[in-house]
Amino acid sequence: MKSVKTSERKVDSHRWFSEALDQYLAKKHLKQTKQRQAIVQLFLELKTHVSAEALRAAAQGAGLDVGLATIYRTLNLLAEAGLAEQKQFGDGHFVYEIVRPGAHHDHLICLDCGKVLEFENAEIERLQEKVAALHEFRLTSHRLDLFGHCLKKVCANRRD
């Protein structure tokens, strides 16, 4: 069994996404376009908590000129396809995040440097189900954000 080259493996790690998208587009009789591909590509590269503005900036940096409206439309499309999730942290604007099937995580946010770490905790999730059952709820999703200060030296604006 031979190992694949790094460049190929990187492509592979995104392939499932493109395939899932193609499938969705076909099912809905929607079309593949240059802009859509570019946005998706950039979205996959930036990979975490991307805002529409950040994507537009990235697109311009890559020499592409994509309208903001198209970016919003594409992100909403991805959200409808279940491939991305719209989130909002403290302030009032949206960021988008790739949804990997079966992979859920929560967030740990540094109030000093704005860094966002992801974590998973099965026990917390189990307790959430317990709480929901107690109140006669059937859970479909949840959001858990922990806010605080990261104590590492790397924090750009640490207060000590």
Task: Count Cβ atoms below 10 Å from residue 54 Cβ, excluding itself.
Answer: 16
Looking at the Cβ atoms of 18 and 72, the one nearer to DNA is 72
Q: List, in order, residues 6 or more apart from 150 with CB less than 8 Å away.
A: 110, 112, 113, 115, 117, 158
- Of 144, 44, 156, 66, the C-alpha closest to 110 is 156
CB of 97 to a copy of itself, least distance (A): 15
Q: Does 20 bind a copy of itself (CB under 8 A)?
A: no
DSSP H or E run through 95: strand 95-98
Are 116 and 123 within 8 A, CB to CB? Answer: no
Out of 22, 28, 147, 156, point to the residue binding a copy of itself (CB under 8 A): 147
Contacts to a copy of itself from residues 89-118, by CB under 8 A: 92-94, 108, 110-111, 117
The residue (of 20 and 79) whose beta carbon lies closer to a copy of itself is 79
Q: Is residue 96 within 8 Å of residue 142, measured between CB atoms? A: no
Taking the complex as a whole, the smallest distance from the CB of residue 65 to DNA amounts, in Å, to 6
Q: Which residues contribute to the site for a copy of itself (CB under 8 A)?
A: 88, 92-94, 108, 110-111, 117, 119, 121, 123-124, 127-128, 131-132, 134-152
Q: Which residues contribute to the site for DNA (CB under 7 A)?
A: 25, 29-36, 51-53, 65-70, 72-74, 76, 92-94
